[in-house]
């Protein structure tokens, strides 16, 4: 690990060990919003390929891809990506080709990730692939596996998956228990690789990035440029401070966040937001994000459960909503949501749209205006409306989500920036130049911090803003004439 320390020190970073937290990544100098703290290639990665969605193993694009003729499992966009990957895929291809066609169906992205992990270790130990202080198997070895916290069912699943890995690799000396442990390591350490708009594309293991701990109030953000992971500061991190990113969706009550962290990452968060659990401020926050709205449409008060458990009282105006009324609306919403989940594929878009509109209407009646589930329904509506090119309704819906985004994603949060971007794109399509400039400027102000300015995605955004400015001055000059 000494080698790693000196590699990190050059970048103003150090790894410290805290008894209650384990390893932490800390700074040895100040970092400012927008500054890159650390960036890495994955040790191994795979796209989340499925029957309907396949991507190139090298760059994750879905355009013009072809199946590898050898194994018929892996896809490439062309010879550049295929050649770069060949040293490792040559072995993987050979191993996968030995499996009968039927079994190849069970080679999921996680199975491939482990197979690639073992092949990379082998190639590095044979010096076919070079190693470096930040790119070697020892770093994977140092990751936590939490084996003792895993339930029996999961262990059985890992054992089955390990058998399949063994069947693929056919290495006589392989240790099945170690493979199972590596599956567990992946579950709590691997990162979901997303595109610039935070849509998931694949999974990667970045053992140095995995040293960074979680906070529900992070001072840094992880974004991807292709498969390249980049961590940028979103707050000033003073010298000696710990770098913290969020492993989960930070919108949600403390209970919701803690549940998600326990389930996937097997720890209890003690960040500044989480230690407030049970305090009045935290109860108010859950009542707003996940609770009910006042009966009076003009009142924005939040509701708390009555002590006799008969209903919920608005803390602003005192109006009471009965438990029965809430139950009735909630079950109507549930029935509709279940229906929409079960049958989206066989319904036409118009029916799906009206179903979500109905859910939204009911949620408006039931939930607090800042409710997360209402916001999520509106997200779905925006998507459907945009597919239907109904820009007017999509924009109206998008504007309704902005105050909620501002509240749950404060500061430099990529999701808030992306929502402004969506607004701006819709305003542009509707010819509203003035508001396009306002929205895109807000998007740039946030995304230049979280995403930098050099990616293709950001260049496109900056170009759109420039175009809008040009259009505005053209309009102005034609009025002058
Ligand atoms: Zn490619
Ligand atoms: Zn192949
Ligand atoms: Zn927390
Ligand atoms: Zn009220």
**Nearest-CA neighbor of 227 among 114, 104, 85, 96?**
85
For residue 339, the model assigns a pLDDT of: 85
Render each residue's pLDDT in the chain as its tens digit; 481 residues: 789 999 999 999 999 998 888 899 999 999 999 999 999 999 999 999 888 889 999 999 999 999 999 999 999 999 999 999 999 999 999 999 999 888 888 899 999 999 999 999 999 999 999 999 999 999 999 999 888 888 999 999 999 999 999 999 999 999 999 999 999 999 999 999 999 999 999 999 999 999 999 999 999 999 999 999 999 999 999 999 999 999 999 999 999 999 999 999 989 999 999 999 999 999 999 999 999 999 999 999 999 999 888 899 999 999 999 999 999 999 999 999 988 777 656 678 888 999 999 999 999 999 999 999 999 999 999 999 999 999 999 999 999 999 999 999 999 999 999 999 999 999 999 999 999 999 999 999 999 999 999 999 999 999 999 999 999 998 888 876 6
Instruction: Report CA(303)–ligand 4 centroid distance (Å).
Output: 8
Instruction: Report CA(68)–ligand 1 centroid distance (Å).
Output: 12
- Where along the chain do the CATH 2.170.270.10 domains lie? 1-41+206-267
pTM (2 d.p.): 0.93
Instruction: Report CA(207)–ligand 3 centroid distance (Å).
Output: 22
Among all bound ligands, the one having the nearest atom to the CA of 112 is 2
Among all bound ligands, the one having the nearest atom to the CA of 318 is 4
Among all bound ligands, the one having the nearest atom to the CA of 247 is 3
For residue 481, the model assigns a pLDDT of: 61
Fold (CATH) for 1-41+206-267: Beta-clip-like (2.170.270)
For residue 343, the model assigns a pLDDT of: 65
Neighbours of ion ligand 3 (CB under 5 A): 216, 269, 271, 274
Fold (CATH) for 409-481: 1.25.40
Among all bound ligands, the one having the nearest atom to the CA of 226 is 1
- Where along the chain do the CATH 1.25.40.10 domains lie? 278-407, 409-481
Instruction: Report CA(308)–ligand 4 centroid distance (Å).
Output: 19
Three-state secondary structure along the chain?
A: CHHHHHHHHCCCEEEEEECCCEEEEEECCCECCCCEEEEECCCEEEECCCCCCCCCCCCCCCCCCEECCCCCCCEECCHHHHHHHHHHHHHHHHHHHHCCHHHHCCCCHHHHHHHHHHHHHHHHHCCCCCCECCECHHHHHCCCCCHHHCCHHHHHHHHHHHHHHHHHHCCCCCCHHHHHHHHHHHHHHCEEEECCCCCEEEEEECCCHHHCEECCCCCEEEEEECCEEEEEECCCECCCCECEECCCCCCCCHHHHHHHHHHHHCCCCCCCCHHHCCCHHHHHHHHHHHCEECCCCCCCCEEEECCCCCEEEECCCCCEEEHHHHHHHHHHHHHHHHHHHHHHHHCCHHHHHHHHHHHHHHHHHHECCCCHHHHHHHHHHHHHHHHCCCHHHHHHHHHHHHHHHHHHCCCCCHHHHHHHHHHHHHHHHCCCHHHHHHHHHHHHHHHHHHHCCCCHHHHHHHHHHHHHHHHHHHHHHHHHC
Among all bound ligands, the one having the nearest atom to the CA of 261 is 3
For residue 103, the model assigns a pLDDT of: 87
CATH superfamily of 278-407: Tetratricopeptide repeat domain (1.25.40.10)
Instruction: Report CA(208)–ligand 2 centroid distance (Å).
Output: 29
């Amino acid at each position: 690990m000494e080698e790693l320390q000196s590699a990190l020190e050059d970048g103003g970073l150090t790894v410290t060990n805290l008894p209650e937290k384990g390893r932490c990544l800390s700074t040895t100098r100040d970092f400012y919003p927008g500054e890159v703290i650390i960036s890495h290639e994955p040790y191994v990665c795979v796209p989340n390929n499925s029957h309907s969605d396949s991507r190139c193993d090298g760059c994750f694009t879905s355009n013009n891809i072809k199946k590898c003729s050898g194994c018929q499992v892996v896809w490439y966009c062309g010879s550049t990506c295929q050649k770069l990957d060949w040293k490792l895929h040559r072995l993987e291809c050979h191993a996968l080709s030995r499996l009968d066609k039927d079994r190849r169906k069970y080679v999921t992205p996680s199975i491939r990730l482990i197979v690639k992990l073992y092949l990379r270790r082998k190639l590095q130990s044979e010096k076919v692939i070079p190693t470096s202080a930040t790119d070697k198997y020892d770093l994977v070895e140092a990751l936590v596996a939490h084996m003792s916290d895993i339930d029996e069912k999961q262990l059985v699943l890992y054992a089955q998956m390990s058998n399949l890995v063994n069947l693929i690799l056919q290495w006589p000396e392989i240790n099945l228990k170690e493979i199972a442990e590596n599956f567990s390591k992946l579950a709590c350490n691997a990162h979901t690789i997303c595109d610039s708009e935070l849509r998931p594309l694949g999974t990667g293991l970045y053992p140095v990035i995995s040293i960074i701990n979680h906070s529900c109030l992070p001072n840094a953000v992880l974004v991807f440029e292709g498969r390249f992971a980049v961590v940028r500061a979103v707050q000033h991190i003073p010298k000696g401070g710990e770098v913290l990113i969020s492993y989960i969706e930070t919108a949600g009550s403390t209970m919701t966040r803690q549940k998600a962290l326990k389930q996937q990452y097997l720890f209890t968060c003690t960040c500044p937001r989480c230690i407030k659990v049970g305090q009045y401020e935290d109860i108010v926050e859950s009542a707003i994000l996940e609770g009910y709205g006042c009966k009076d449409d003009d009142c924005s008060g939040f509701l708390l459960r009555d002590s006799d458990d008969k209903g919920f009282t608005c803390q602003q105006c005192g109006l009471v909503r009965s438990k029965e009324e809430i139950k009735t609306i909630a079950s109507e919403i549930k029935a509709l949501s279940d229906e929409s989940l079960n049958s989206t594929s066989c319904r036409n878009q118009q029916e799906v749209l009206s179903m979500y509109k109905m859910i939204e209407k009911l949620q408006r009646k039931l939930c607090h205006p800042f409710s997360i589930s209402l916001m999520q329904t509106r997200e779905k509506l925006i998507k459907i409306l945009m597919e239907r090119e109904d820009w007017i309704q999509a924009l109206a819906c998008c504007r309704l989500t902005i105050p909620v985004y501002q509240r749950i994603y404060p500061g430099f949060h990529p999701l808030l920036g992306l929502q402004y971007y969506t607004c701006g794109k819709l305003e542009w399509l509707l010819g509203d130049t003035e508001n396009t400039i306002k929205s895109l400027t807000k998007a740039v102000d946030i995304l230049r911090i979280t995403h930098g300015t050099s990616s293709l995605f950001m260049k496109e955004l900056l170009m759109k803003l420039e175009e809008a400015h040009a259009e505005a001055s053209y309009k102005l000059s034609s009025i002058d004439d």
